[in-house]
Amino acid sequence: MSETRRAAEGRVGQVKEVTSLANPIVKDIRALALKKYRDVQGAFMAEGLKLVIDALDLGWTIRTLVFARSQRGNATVEKAAARAKAAGGLVLEVPEKVLTAITRRDNPQSVLGVFSQRWIPLKDIRPASGDVWVALDRVRDPGNLGTVIRTVDAVGAKGVILVGDTTDPWSLETVRATMGSIFAVPVARADAAAFIGWHKAAKMRLVGTHLKGSVDYRAPDYAKGPLVLLMGNEQQGLTDDLARACDTLIRIPQAGRADSLNLAVATGVALYEMRRHAFPVTQGKAG
Ligand code: SAM
């Protein structure tokens, strides 16, 4: 919902009970299912009380917190609602059928938040030695993108750069697949030419993954300098221009009949190798 509408309706900081799907605020939230409206509103939805609390803790701007009527009196929900209100957000109490309609799910989560999107400009990335970023060339599948964002978070990499025309990181499917990591991982975007120009100027070593890569992924010394791990599109792999721009093209060996690994799985395998030093082997106690 636009700031103008909120101000006009004089509802900032109010808890509002809404029962109708025809309510204009509910309509605005339902519209966020479509990229067109997410772009117009610069907003996205995230489901679940834990996610909403994590997002508030991390300083994300909440526009609306919606909770199920059945949660009235739940101290944790009411505390989150109070925080949302204190941050200038709108709080809606709705029947479950409204949450079902918004999330297009039976048995929806009882809390959801509408947040402002946050893109990090490429020029603001200041890579330091030891940093690893992941760049995704034209990633199409929301589940893959969400899983990569979650993996980047888990492995302690710095963020994700979307290259070219990609699926939307702010879609409900992607946000669901990130399991909350969307709030912890910076996301940037660029076309291929701008990305190549940026990596050269930033002196980031560009390590591409390719089925025809000449280097086994375990061979390079990844400790040298900040790195970008570049992954190819699910159907076509990397474009020739991007493959040519890479300093190294690595390959993950395969033993069976599969043509390739799933994009998110390949990202996880390569990232854990690059970040191996961050996970020293600890000996378990003898039982
Ligand atoms: N048909 C595509 C091709 O020819 O590249 C397959 C793409 S694969 C599903 C998606 C991406 O995952 C690849 O572009 C690459 O980045 C990565 N990938 C998958 N398996 C890989 C492997 N064995 N070695 C290196 N990268 C791999």
User: Residue 152's pLDDT band (boundaries 50, 70, 90)?
Assistant: very high
Q: Is 2 in the pocket of ligand 1 (CB under 6 A)?
A: no
* Superfamily of 122-278 according to CATH: SPOUT methyltransferase, trefoil knot domain (3.40.1280.10)
Distance from the CA of 266 to the center of ligand 1, in angstroms?
A: 7
Domain with CATH 3.40.1280.10 in the chain: 122-278
Give the model confidence (pLDDT) of 167-180 as tens digits: 999 999 999 999 99
With tokens 């990130």, the residue in question is: 178
pLDDT at 283: 77
CA of 185 to the centre of ligand 1 (A): 23
111-116/62-68 β-pairing: antiparallel
pLDDT at residue number 14: 63
Average pLDDT of 208-224? 95
Residues of the chain with CATH 3.30.1330.30: 3-116
Distance CA(60)–CA(51), nearest Å, equals 11
Percent of the residues in the chain that have a pLDDT greater than 70, as a whole number = 94
Q: Is the pLDDT of residue 121 over 50?
A: yes
> Quick check: CB of 232 below 6 Å from ligand 1?
yes
What is the 169 CA–ligand 1 centroid distance (Å)? 21
Residue 240 pLDDT level (bands cut at 50, 70, 90): very high
Element (H, E) at 35: helix 35-41
Q: Tell me, what DSSP letter sits at residue 233?
A: B
Q: Decide: 209 in ligand 1 pocket, CB within 6 A.
A: yes
Report how far ligand 1's centroid is from the alpha carbon of 44 (Å): 30
Residue 223 binned pLDDT confidence (cut-offs 50, 70, 90)? confident
Q: Give backbone dihedrals phi and psi of 63, rounded to 5 degrees, phi first.
A: -95, -40
Q: How confident is the model over 85-97, as a mean pLDDT?
A: 96
Q: What pLDDT is recorded for position 286?
A: 55
Answer whether 96's CB lies under 8 Å from 72's CB.
no
CATH T-level assignment (fold) for domain 3-116: 60s Ribosomal Protein L30; Chain: A; (3.30.1330)
Q: CB under 8 Å to 255, separation ≥6 — which residues?
A: none
| Cβ neighbours of residue 154 closer than 8 Å, sequence gap 6 or more | 181
User: Given this model, what pLDDT does residue 140 score?
Assistant: 98
Q: pLDDT tens digit string along 99-117?
A: 999 999 999 999 999 999 9
* Helix, strand, coil shares, percent, the chain, to 5: 40, 20, 40
For residue 224, name the pLDDT band (cuts at 50, 70, 90): confident
Query: pLDDT tens, 37-83?
Result: 999 999 999 999 999 999 999 999 999 999 999 999 999 999 999 99
This prediction's pTM = 0.93
Among protein residues, the one with the nearest Cα to ligand 1's atom 23 is 252
Q: How far apart are CA 107 and CA 112, in angstroms?
A: 13
> Considering the chain, what percentage of its residues have pLDDT values greater than 90?
89
Contact 172, 103 (CB under 8 A): yes
282 pLDDT higher than 80:
yes
**pLDDT class of 3 with cuts at 50, 70, 90:** very low
Q: How far apart are CA 115 and CA 47, in angstroms?
A: 11
16 forms beta bridges with 92
Q: Which residue has the tokens 């079902």?
A: 100
